[in-house]
Amino acid sequence: MFEDIGGADALFNPQLLVEVLSPSTENYDRVKKFRHYKSIPALREYLLVEQGWPHVTHLFKRDDGLWIHTEVNDLEAVLTLTSLGCDLPLTEIYAGVSFDNTSKA
């Protein structure tokens, strides 16, 4: 659902949130921001997408409230987004992106 906040439509109670990581905010996104996001009752999944190499962290909240953490770094991998009832290939996430082999951390 959307709500007008300061003249802009803002999504509230999302089931899925996706963050594209940057070096300057990665720690904040992984720790403090996720801690805040976990307080959203409807949130079921959180994706953290690396920019410099194919790597996605997938956090999924089970029905019992436990968060499951998985990581994929193979462009042939497919993430199952249970909250949306679909599969998401990493090739779709990184379509049109070229990687410099030296940028992998």
Structure tokens, 30: 């992984």
- The CATH number for 11-98, chosen from 1.10.3720.10, 3.40.50.620, 3.90.1570.10, 3.80.30.20, is 3.90.1570.10
pTM of the complete model: 0.83
Domain boundaries, the chain: 11-98
Relative to beta strand 67-72, strand 78-81 is unpaired
Three-state DSSP class for 27?
A: helix
DSSP H helical ranges for the chain: 26-28, 34-37, 90-93
Q: Are 60 and 71 in contact (CB under 8 A)?
A: no
Residue with tokens 């082999």: 101
- The mean pLDDT values, 10 residues at a time, for the chain of 105 residues are 69 87 92 92 95 94 95 94 94 91 55
